[in-house]
Amino acid sequence: MATKTAVVTGSTKGIGKGYARELLKRGVNVVVSGRGQEALDKASKDLEDEGVEAARAIGQTCDVADVTQVQALWDYAVNAFGSVDYWINNAGFARSGPTLLQLTPDEITVMVRCNVIGTINGSQVAVKGMTAQGYGRLYNTYGAGSDGRAIPGMIGYGTTKSAVRYFTDSLIKELKGKPVKVGSISPGMNVTENMLIQIQKRPPKIREKMIKPLNLLGDHVGTTTPWIVDRILADQQSGTAIKWLTTGKILGRLLSAPFKKRDVFSRYSLDD
């Protein structure tokens, strides 16, 4: 079987880097991407140091809000590996906690540009390229708010993810019967570098309130990404929703909470 290739946007850290690691372990070529060269170099070195060299990994800087850079990312992958089998729109920016009036104009702009425009750009470039090559699978990332529920402290981020879901549902219908298959990934609540930074910035009392639900429902990237990647590689349908934190899993954790304490932050130092 020929080696396949995946492009993962926003994969220099966090869950995107986790996808890259697990794809490499399973023999898939991976194009890692991020906005900064320094972060890209570090991610590439980390993956090499971890010994996940079953396939090749290369990196390319890319601001997903700039469609020219997204097209360059596609071209870079095709020039290196010949084609792209999987495109994962993972790049995103979350600002949790503030109300509408507490969100800064810059934070609003970054969330809309990265989460919404970035997803549309990545999808457009991937669909165009995959249609030309006659095959390919595209996955967009959902998050808090994508199901339409209003979540306190997530008004900005949740709005962008609601837009991503509408866009993805529409694209699935638009591409029905076409060679490009579209799916979604709901990775759950992963403890990432960005999450830790946001928690560390909060006063102790607010920090405690943030940590409580995360300890109940949160997971480590090393827990969620192997499961998610296995389902990406096994997927054969269009419209597949790969969801880590299902209703059943949530209920199970709620019911077991009085008897089994979860502490996903025990391995981290949250001191400033």
Query: Kindly report the CA angle at 22 between 159 and 34, in degrees rounded to 5?
Result: 50
Does residue 3 sit in helix, strand or coil? coil
What one-character DSSP code corresponds to residue 2? P
pLDDT average per 10 residues of sequence, the chain (272 residues): 88 95 94 94 87 76 97 97 97 84 92 97 98 98 88 88 97 97 95 78 74 86 96 96 94 89 82 60
pLDDT at 261: 87
Does residue 9 sit in helix, strand or coil? coil
pLDDT at 272: 54
Per-residue exposure over 162-194, b if at least 16 CB sit within 10 Å of its own CB, e if not? bbbbeebeebbeebeeeebbbbbbbbbbbbbeb
Domains of the chain: 5-201+221-251 (3.40.50.720)
pLDDT at 102: 87
Asked if residues 8 and 20 have their Cβ atoms less than 8 Å apart, the reply is: yes
Cα separation, 95 vs 159, in Å, equals: 12
* pTM tops 0.85, yes or no: yes
